[in-house]
Structure 1
Amino acid sequence: MSQLIANKAILIIGEKWQAQALTEQLKRDQPNLRLDLSSRSTEGEDNNISNKNKLKYQLICWLLQEETTTETLSWELNQLKTREPEAALLLIMNNGGFFNRDFLLQLPLDGLLEQPSLTEINEAIELITNGGRVFRISEAMQSSSTQSSNLGLKQWFLLSGLDQINAEVNALNHRLSVFPKGGLKRFVIAGRLRELNMARKLLHAIWGSASPIHQFKPKPKQERLQIYLPKRGGNDILNQLQIELAKEFGSCSIFETGYLLALEALLPERRLNLFESLLHEFKQLLEKLSTENCLALTTIPSGDQPATDPWVQQQSLLRQRALMKLVGAYTQLPREGSLLPLAETLISSANLDGEEPELCSLYPILIALIEGKPLLIHGKLMAADQPFALLHVQTLVSNWLLRNGERIAKEVLEACSNWPELRRTMLPVELLPTRELDRLRNKINSLERWQNLFVRPVSIYESKRVFYSLRSGKFVSQVLIEPRDNELKTLLWWQQAITILLETRDALAPQLEILINRFGSLMVLLLTRVLGRAIGLIGRGIMQGLGRSMQNSNLSAEKP
Structure 2
Amino acid sequence: MSDRPLKLVLIDHDPIFRLGLRVALEAIPNIQVVTEAATDTEALQALAAIAQQDPNLVNLVVLELGDSRSIDTQQQGLQLIQQLKASYPTLPILLLSSVQTTGIITAAKAFGADGYCPKGAAVAELVTAMTELVSGNSYWRETAVSTELSPPLSTTVSRLPLAQFRQNLHTSGIGYIETTLKAITEQLQTPGLPILERAILAGRRRELLTARWLLNQLLLTPQEQPQPQPEIIPSVPPPAVFPTPSGEIVIADETTRLTPPPLLSPRLLQSTLFAACINKLQFSLKNVSDVPLEIDIFREDKKRELLYLILQKLSQQLDDLREAQITDRQLLELKPIILNDLWQATVTDFFGKFSRIEIGDRSVEVVNILLQNPAAIQTAILNKIPLVGELLSYLLLQTDLQIDNTSYPAGTSDANCQAEIMLENLLIQVANAVVQPLLNYLADVEQIKQNFYDRKLISTREIERFRNDLSWKYRLNAYVNEAREIFESRYELFVFAPRGIATISVYAPRNAELAQLTGIPLVVTLILEFRDAIAPRLQSVLAFFGSGIVFVLTQIVGRGLGLIGRGIIQGIGSVSFSEKNFKRDNPRSK
TM superposition score normalised by structure 2: 0.47
TM superposition score normalised by structure 1: 0.50
